[in-house]
Structure 1
Amino acid sequence: MTTLTETSASAKPPEHGHHRPAPKGAISIAQLVAALPGAFRKLDPRQMWRNPVMFIVEIGAALTTALAIAEPFLGGPRASGGAAVPASFTVGIAVWLWLTVVFANLAESVAEGRGKAQADSLRQTRTSTTAHRVEGYDPAADAAAERATVTELSSADLTLGDVVVVVAGELVPGDGDIVSGIASIDESAITGESAPVIRESGGDRSAVTGGTRVLSDRIVVRITSKPGETFVDRMIALVEGASRQKTPNELALNILLASLSIIFVIVTLTINPIAGYSAAAVSLPVLVALLVCLIPTTIGALLSAIGIAGMDRLVQRNVLAMSGRAVEAAGDVTILLLDKTGTITYGNRQAREFTPLVGVTVADLMRAAALSSLSDPTPEGKSIVDLAAESGFRHEGALAGDIVPFTAQTRMSGVDLPDGSQIRKGAGSAVIAWVETSAPAARTVLAELGEQVERISGVGGTPLVVASGDADGTRRILGLIYLKDIVKEGIAQRFSELRAMGIRTIMVTGDNPLTAKTIAAEAGVDDFLAEATPEDKLALIRREQEGGNLVAMTGDGTNDAPALAQADVGVAMNTGTSAAKEAGNMVDLDSDPTKLIDVVRIGKQLLITRGALTTFSIANDVAKYFAIIPAMFSGVFPGLAVLNVMQLNSPASAIMSAIIFNAIIIVALIPLAIRGVKYRPAAASSILGRNLLIYGLGGVIAPFIGIKLIDLLVSLIPGF
């Protein structure tokens, strides 16, 4: 047993490299080769049945293989539809059917492999470390913790609710919230960023992640996750695709593809009974080839890869989606809720001017404002103290009195001084309400205050109202502080692009309506919610959802958790509290609120890619019919020769060429499925028209060209 102050540092952990995946681009041959073992492992029927389309192809490949083995003992391959076929025909069909299944698995394996490097790096952070659990920790008095004892144990033995102490040089043993202290922490193992970050208790930056390293000071952490269920564990499972659940749209498309496949199986099985009356019976290899060309194998092979790649594109931007459903929902979002500070504006508002009301001196207002901000850690609070110092204000020693922190509910902060007097600063309505708890404010004071608020708000500034209260309970408004806020460059253009996508943007701020209106107009947002409380935000989300909209928002605090949970897409900041990260369905490891816009773009790209490749697959099948149907029956029904528009060499080469093309096109489309169709902000009708033109028309033309070129090569083989 040791005391908290005697805890020794753990052994220095291994250095972690930057784990972000390589920038997106074309799939290399090396990536395809590396993914091949995984593709062969997926041939297990217990895995294949989850993809009904490719499972049917695998069954067809197995039947054709068995027939190819048996044919030498049965007198060789039989004629099909009256046309002779070469001895190698059935073997060739079997080989290319197996390659079709392998190529389909290869697409999924490549998509999963792109997250494997990141998962391997993250596993290094899961090595068991020494934890120092505090016995009998009293959260009400950290001073008691200094005399408490700690027990050394493995981090794997920690349970939910345990309290541990971590000092400089040690790894954080598990996910948790800081309940005491402040420290500089290296989170490069998680975020990939080498710059340390500050984490402290009592705010929205109190969450720490297991496997990160404390660089300075000492913190006391309450564990908020069970072993095996940490943030890193979930990241590993998700980036590898092990816990990826199919989205509703993906499930619906899978059901549709399975239904079409079953219909085509029935159609294929009825061909011989019907054709038998005309002595045009079709051999089993040709029937299987026909079936594989009829069913939507292209999209069936790539569907899973498209979903995994969508999540991977988020990981490339350091956003972790807790489910594929969240990525898909991002593509359907119609409302974006964006905080003003840090998202639309830079968030480092600076004090520029003290404006006293009539009867109050600048010195009195400046002193009150500075005293209320001495213990304010925000950039705004520090700028108020700096502005007062420039004007000659000095305060020696620590501030005596009780600090009143800012909260989203009160929307003001301040200090209660030892002499019984009080100082408050914050939103105008909140401060006025505080003053009027003692006596109604004079009408002339409110009128003058309103004029000044309107003046500051009219130029896009944020007015902070300052008030004081005497020991006898009398309270009065002293004046205002002008905080200058700057809208980020290029943000208006991004909102214009969102509007082109059909997405409405709503700015959420605690500022008064006039300031909010000015900033909203400058930034180009569609609407705003001023003087917003957490309850207001939650009510707004519910109201929009009741109107049929899908809502996305960001948040980092415990008070954002209800709204994050209610939103269809809730992006929690990694710097935020554990409650916020648990409530959201995405976590931004860089804690950049503007990334919500990128999340929506990636979601839309996922939906467009899936739609484009589905269109291509269906159009692709149409062309294959013209290759394989005439070849099957041209010997018995010469009139069908008119459908042989590609002028293929022979029925056997036509069927073989169609099967080969069907396999090769899957490999050719893997880069597009992984990279995604290029997305340009536009109306849905415009995007649909463009995709029909490119992927619909392209899906019809490509097989005609591809099958004809393959036929020219196949015809060089003796017997074809």
Structure 2
Amino acid sequence: MATTNNEKVLASSAPRFEKIFVHIELIAAILSGVLIVTAWLVSKWNHESVSIAFYLAAFIIGGYAKAKEGIEETIKNKDLNVELLMFFAAIGSAIIGYWAEGAMLIFIFSLSGALETYTTNKSKKEISSLLEIQPETAIRVVHGREEKVHVSLLQVGDIILVKPGERVPADGKIAHGTTTIDESTISGESIPVTKGSGAEVFAGTINLNGSVTVEVTRHANETVFNKIIQLVQSAQSEKSPSQLFIERFEGTYVKVVLLVVILMMFIPHLVFGWNWNTTFYRAMILLVVASPCALVASIMPATLSAISNGARKGILFKGGVHIEGLSHVKAIAFDKTGTLTKGKPEVTDIIVRQDQNERNLLHFAASIENQSNHPLALAIVQYWKAKNNDSLLQPEQVEDVPGWGMKAKLNNQEWLIGKKDFVGSKEAHNFENGVAEKLENEGKTVVFVKDSSGIAAAIALQDIVRDETKNALLELKNEGIRTIMLTGDSETTAKNIAAQSQIDTYIAECLPETKVSSLKKVKEQYGMVAMVGDGVNDAPALATANVGIAMGEGSDVAMETADVVLMKNDLSRIAEAIRLSRKMNRIIKQNVIFSISVIVILIASNFFEFLNLPLGVVGHEGSTILVILNSLRCLGGDKK
């Protein structure tokens, strides 16, 4: 069916209406302000009834949204709230003839409400922007033919084409081609990463300059990008303990205020001789200034802002309770493999027999190890490929001896590569004046290479400490955090890694269940403790800690169990998260102390008759606006 001109006009105007609707509270508040000014000008021309009509319009337009919200919340929760207090105060002001003051109260209250809505929308902007950039279609390649399909139709194993400038539509591995990927939406890292065949790519990231084909490895609803959205949306709906306390406190407080206001209407007249008009007027001022609007707004805007700030930097908090708790952490326990270290062994030392050429021997060893999929074998092959362009040789005969090593025939020689007991324990022990024992004492694993003449080489490998680990742990120490390493490795290896990373202390030979019991002892010693891990075996410890922190490139189980997820495996983000948490708690304390102080000062001023209704309105609602603006500081940097 053809689209009519009217339909086109409606379609093009829809986004404009959506934008207007988003700001409807602010528009209503501004219109209310215009009506108040108009009413005031009309009153100067002695048109009192017309002036009251404009004030009444200001009441309705400015107060409708908040009054509706207050009534609905009262019915839903069967409890009184701040919105109703403001509603009663405005009506009370009008009853005793203070139309201007009542309208001003409505105007500033609606303005502060619009500002709070703006803060909430601002704090959710990161997620909105993620939703907007989520790819909807992909180019699937089937038997050399390209077809455009919705991402929900992609299956694991499909091949998709990603052209320069396009967003990657699904998680996968590059099948062919080389390109540079902007992964800032996933990791928070602004520097693009060059990737080639076999490298992992993520949905939502931008392919900058090369055309690549990608093999899909996850369904659309299981992508890392989709998990980020789900995590942050869940976090924004979860309330912190402080927020829950304030909300429980609000209902009781409102009831107390209403009771005191009722008493205020009679006691000053009967005890102090105030006339009825003054008594009612002071009661209305009390109703305004004693309302806990600023106190109620002290926490949620700051929490939402902090969660969004973290999401922008690749730090995902699963709720306000976790970001609030992180600031109280006294010690952090770290898993070793894949967290403090790279998680893969690398060649660190090669010691060859005096009659051997190191390059030639490594060439033979890598050629034989290339026939194995053992992590140590793969590390030796990778070491050769990183330093040499020569292709590997094909052994004439190969036998993989599980648990021991490789037996092969190459270049007309018999070769053994593996443990000392496999090549000859005594000979291995005596090789090059017992160099193997020295390497093992440094926490390294030694692989021996034996030819027909005896032990030809000893190759030492070790899981290398990440480049950023030392600086990240130093940052934590500067924040006053104690660092502990939990590892299943031997005492020797643990001691060596602890020295390299400069961690405060370590606990070696930990099984998954031992990690949990060790972590409980750390909690007894330090109180609030966080745990950082990336593997399936870390999940029990992550759940036991007060705050569990998972590395984003780790297992799905670890990410599901943890309270905080670092989307990029960058340990320095932990100190950044702690500073952000402390900043949020600092701002919340400032807000609470400030709002309570203002309420006390305004109540005292009203009782001693120093305060009139306009100043009460400005003081009360002004404090609410200042509290919300202060909360917006959590959207900025993590510094003080």
1:167-213 deviation per Cα after TM superposition (whole angstroms, max 9, x unaligned): 34375544x56598897573447246361454887xxx857335665
1:98-497 equivalences in 2 (<5 Å): 98-100=107-109, 102-116=111-125, 118-130=126-138, 132=140, 153-157=149-153, 162-169=156-163, 172-174=168-170, 176=171, 186-188=181-183, 190-191=185-186, 193=190, 195-196=192-193, 198=195, 208-209=202-203, 213=207, 215=210, 217-224=212-219, 226=221, 232=225, 235=228, 243-275=236-268, 277-278=270-271, 280=274, 281=276, 284=280, 286-338=282-334, 351=347, 353-355=349-351, 366=362, 370-371=366-367, 381=380, 384-385=383-384, 396-397=392-393, 423-424=417-418, 435=421, 448=434, 451-453=437-439, 457=442, 463-467=444-448, 479-481=458-460, 490-491=471-472, 493-497=474-478
2:533 and 2:558 in contact (8 A); partners too: yes
Q: Partner amino acid for 2:632?
A: I
Q: Give the Cα–Cα distance (whole angstroms) in 2 for the partners of residues 403 and 326 of structure 1.
A: 53
Contact preservation (8 Å) 1:370, 1:388: no
- Give, as a single letter, the amino acid of the residue that structure 2 aligns with 1:592: D
TM-score normalized by the length of structure 2: 0.68
Give the superposed CA RMSD: 5.4
Pairing 1:664–2:622 present:
yes
Counterpart in the other structure of 2:66: 43
The amino acid across from 2:458 in the alignment is: G
Deviations 1:253-274 (A, max 9, x none): 3323443333333333333354
Residues 181 and 66 of structure 1: is their aligned pair in 2 closer, same or farther, counting only changes over 3 Å?
Answer: same
8 Å CA contact retained: 1:241, 1:308: no
Alignment-derived partner of residue 66 in structure 1:
91
Show the counterpart of 2:82: 57
Deviation, 1:237, is 6.8
- Cα distance in 1 for residues equivalent to 2:600 and 2:182: 53
Question: What is the identity, as a one-letter code, of the residue corresponding to 1:616?
Answer: F
Q: Give the structure 2 partner of residue 10 of structure 1.
A: none
User: Shift of residue 218 of structure 1?
Assistant: 3.7
Q: Given the superposition, is the C-alpha separation of residues 588 and 299 from structure 1 closer, same or farther in structure 2, using an over 3 Å criterion?
A: same
Which runs of 5 or more structure 1 residues have no equivalent in the other structure? 1-31, 72-76, 78-86, 135-145, 405-409, 425-430, 632-647, 682-720
Q: Is the 8 A contact 1:126 1:211 kept in 2?
A: no
Kindly tell me the number of residue pairs found equivalent between the two proteins: 563
Change (3 A) 1:307 1:121: closer
Counterpart secondary structure, 1:43: helix
Instruction: Verify the 8 A CA contact 1:553 1:596 in the aligned structure 2.
Output: no
> Is residue 612 of structure 1 aligned with residue 635 of structure 2?
no
Q: 1:330 to 1:92 in 2, by over 3 A?
A: same
Distance 2:485 2:224 in 1: 30
Q: Is the 8 A contact 1:257 1:300 kept in 2?
A: yes
Who is 2:34 aligned against? Answer: none
User: 1:674, CA displacement in angstroms?
Assistant: 1.9
1:661 is displaced (CA, Å) by 1.2
Quick one: distance in 1 between partners of 2:476 and 2:235? 36
Which piece of structure 1 moves more, 125-134 or 340-349? 340-349
Q: Secondary structure at the match of 1:308?
A: helix
Query: Using the alignment, how far apart are the partners of 2:167 and 2:638 within structure 1?
Result: 42
2:503 paired residue among 518, 525, 537: 525
How far is 1:496 from its partner? 2.5
Distance 2:521 2:71 in 1: 43
Q: Name the TM-score, length of structure 1 as normaliser.
A: 0.62
Question: What do residues 481-516 of structure 1 show as CA deviations (whole Å, max 9, x unaligned)?
Answer: 276868757456423223x2xx32123567653454
Secondary structure of 2:484's counterpart equals strand
SS, match of residue 238 in structure 2 = coil
Deviation at 1:251, TM superposition (A): 1.0
Q: Is 393-402 or 119-128 further displaced after alignment?
A: 393-402
SS in 2 for 1:302: coil
Aligned partner of 1:195: which letter? P
2:202/2:223 contact within 8 Å kept? no
